[in-house]
Amino acid sequence: MPALIGSQLTDEVVSRYKDCSDPRLKEIMTSLVKHLHSFAREMKLTEQEWIKGIEFVTSVGQICDEMRQEFILLSDVLGLSMTVVELNHGTGAGETEATVQGPFYVPGAPELPKGATVDGNPPGDPLDVTGVIHDPKGKPIANALIDVWQAGEDGLYSNQDPKKPKYELRGKFRSDRDGTYHFKSVLPKGYQIPTDGPVGVLMRATNRAPWRPAHLHFMVSAEGYKPLTTHLFVKGAPHIKEDAVFGVKESLIQDFKAVGKNTYALKYDFGLSPRA
């Protein structure tokens, strides 16, 4: 890794944080300043390029609202989200691998009984999802909360289309005393990330594909265990090797089995690691 390019100015800016009372904030800010200055010097950044960058970041913020998180999308396509995931989640034996949350999570989805269909009576090929929540040694975890969400047949999440019910294709479920969970949904489809905003402009300017392979989102939590946010990807789905947000991991590619005409089943056991 190349050494950072220092300067008197950089040292002066860093020195202004000497009285910061929060040691972690001080550490983050001084490192950020050093890396930003070094990047500008390495690239010999022009004033025109600097203002273009300011305009881009401004436009990312301007398009955000309570239903759209363009900054998370930007973090995702730059691989920063997955970098943070890898820093904070291990891959120990018996532990399900984590991946990005993405920009489309909506808190507050209804908690539904075991075996129920996700909210909104969504169109699509029926999918039956079952499995067990367990610890790294295989011991079942009772009363774990499984928060699920996915895009619809049209490739849109409920918070992308004001005509859809707020919690369509979303729901929360609990594991039983034996750790088992069960819910019904529809077979997920692949889609393009939103390209009508500044992230789309960036993707086109750099000739990058905007596709995400078909997947289900899961957020699994239980008392005494680290929360897990992950996806399960459809084996053989288009674009599985060119995920725009770098979220695909081999262990998360699963067989969504056909069990009848246009009817599918998925069985997957989630492993949670105890809190430190």
Distance CA 15, CA 272 (A): 43
Pairwise CA distance, residues 1 & 162, whole Å: 47
What whole-number distance in Å separates Cα of residue 274 and Cα of residue 94? 11
Res 90: pLDDT: 75
Helix (H, G, I), strand (E, B) or coil at 83: helix
Contacts with 244 (C-beta within 8 Å, 6 or more apart), sequence order: 76, 77, 193, 203, 208, 209, 210, 211, 212
Instruction: Report DSSP state, residue 240.
Output: T
Could you tell me the CA-to-CA distances from 274 to 13, 133, 167, 252 in Å, in that order?
41, 13, 30, 20
CA distances for 179 relative to 24, 72, 77, 142, 275, angstroms: 38, 32, 35, 5, 18
At 204-261, the pLDDT tens digits run 999 999 999 999 999 999 999 999 999 999 999 999 999 999 999 999 999 999 998 9
Q: What is the pLDDT along the chain (276 residues), one digit of tens a residue?
A: 568 998 999 999 999 999 999 999 999 999 999 999 999 999 999 999 999 999 999 999 999 998 899 999 999 999 999 999 999 987 778 899 999 999 999 999 999 999 999 999 889 999 999 999 999 999 999 999 999 999 999 999 999 999 999 999 999 999 999 999 999 999 999 999 999 999 999 999 999 999 999 999 999 999 999 999 999 999 999 999 999 999 999 999 999 999 989 999 999 999 999 987
Compute the distance between CA of residue 248 and CA of residue 198 in angstroms, rounded to an integer. 24
What are the structural domains, with CATH classification, of the chain? 8-74 (no CATH), 92-271 (2.60.130.10)
